[in-house]
Amino acid sequence: MIADLPAVLAPVFAPGGDVRLAIRCGGRSLAYGELRRAVTAMRAELAANGVEPGDRVAFSMPKSLESVVATLAILAAGAAYAPLDPGLSASQVRFVLDDLRPRLFIATPSRLQALRQWEDAHAETCCPLASSQRCAVVDERALRLTMVEAGNDGDAPAPSPGLATILYTSGSTGAPKGIMLSHANVESFVAWGARTFAIRSSDRLINHAPLHFDLSIFDLFCGLGRGASVHLVDETTALFPGAVRNLVEAAGITVWYSAPTALARLQERAALKGLDSLRLILFAGEVFPTPILRRLMADAPRPEYANLYGPTETNVCAFYPLPGPPASDVEAIPIGWPCDHTEIRLLDGGGRDVQGGETGEICVAGPSVMQGYWARPDLTESARLGSWRADSYRTGDFATRRGDGALMFAGRRDQQVKVRGRRIELTALEAVLNAHPEIREAAALHLPASRPGGALGVALVAGGERLGQGAIRAYVAERLPESYAPDVVEWLDGLPRLTNGKIDRVRLRSLFEPMQVN
């Protein structure tokens, strides 16, 4: 037994249950006894490589048994884990490592080689990472670390006591930011999630989200914390709905949690139809187009469904258990009510609570709210609502309250734009387009440089016939003010996505840049 374990790890190391399945990925698995021994061994290797309580350890590797063992071993060592998106370029990895200054960086041999090649190509402007960084490679299929480069101990990073993880944003709107979550933050959310959704040892949870995406916290720690088994969907399997269905069916998955994009891809191929093991389907991270959700619930009527809301900075802070399928394709799905460990206020621009059905910014407070942004006290301060609570966060999202008090999402600050002097809610336009029977997915963009006053562009994925721009404009004009009629309509085979499943709006915008709007 490891002394001084974080609370989220204590159940993993509880006596008994050694032969029960803990983690499975592909054809490989670890029972609880094997998992404990692997974590204990890797914790010892971390200590041998200089990792101490309060340190930060970053890693870049595909989703695997090794990445889960590394996550748990880092926490067992009293350090904070920083999982990097495996899809980051070498320059982006270097940016994060320079920003974070972890005690140790763990990577696969190929990942570390790519980073070294990039550094060699930029030797004139870039100091070698090894001059200030300890690097280790993970020995795949052996659950061991091998030290390859030892940094300068004189440049040791300052400790960060109390931190459990630092999750970096995608950087789609600027440089990536590290979101600091403490053990108390994680434990607060995990306790709520396991209690609210009655996670038990007989459950089999699927882990679809990447480890650098906050949704994975639920899968790993609610699952392992209740003695359940967690089944990883690796990056290759995630690309093929048939392979995902096979995994769900073979493992008898009972709990699913992912971004709506993953569920929409499965619904398109009817990949969950006829499965009887699922008891719970949770989704979060973006708005779920109502028509697709209705079709999914018709294909898989047995599970309970819930919409979970919350940015990474708060983890889940509101949720809505669906009482049944939406009545129509245009019915909006609430984000629901505050979780019992959070408090939510809707505030106007002056920091006052809005009245009745007015729209206000979602502001959250509670023990799951982040400690702040790594090395960015300015951003942390601007995100707090100091006049309310020290553990508050201004989300930049907007909502209204319907009659029963449930919150209705009303868009993001950066999705409320002015086009030709008129305010446009991009999410409202997307909702109308998503309800069209010939449209499978829609994304709306503000194109400020297209002409004086800007323009509206929409990217559409066909669910049937690709309609002309005139037909799309007429459809929108029947349902929204004239100012919402799109100036540019582009049909795509699929919307570009980030590795967490959300729409990559930076890449999407680049598709519109060459276009000329008359």
| pLDDT digits 0-9 by tens, 445-460 | 988 766 566 788 999 9
Per DSSP (E only), the strands in 5-110 are: 21-25, 28-31, 56-60, 80-83, 104-107
Q: Does the pLDDT value for residue 125 go beyond 80?
A: no
Reply yes or no on whether the pLDDT at 517 is more than 80. no
The pLDDT tens digits for 447-493 are 876 656 678 899 999 988 999 999 999 999 888 888 899 999 999 99
C-alpha to C-alpha distance for 147 and 116, rounded to whole angstroms: 15
Q: Whole-model pTM?
A: 0.86
What's 10-15+34-182's CATH class? alpha beta
Query: Do 10-15+34-182 and 236-411 share a fold?
Result: yes
Please give the sequence-ordered ranges of beta strands (E in DSSP) within 251-335, or none if there are none: 255-258, 280-283, 304-309, 318-321
- pLDDT digit string, tens, across residues 73-110: 999 999 999 999 988 888 889 999 999 999 999 999 98
Q: Is the model's pLDDT at 2 over the cut of 70?
A: no
Residue ranges of domains in the chain = 10-15+34-182, 236-411, 420-512
Superfamily covering domain 236-411: ANL, N-terminal domain (3.40.50.12780)
Distance (Å, rounded) from C-alpha 518 to C-alpha 516? 6
User: What type of residue is 67?
Assistant: S
Name the superfamily (CATH) of residues 420-512.
ANL, C-terminal domain (3.30.300.30)
Q: With contact defined as beta carbons under 8 Å apart, do 73 and 81 qualify?
A: no
What confidence tens digit (pLDDT) does each residue in 63-78 have?
999 999 999 999 999 9
- Residue ranges of alpha helices (H) inside 218-259 are 223-225, 241-251
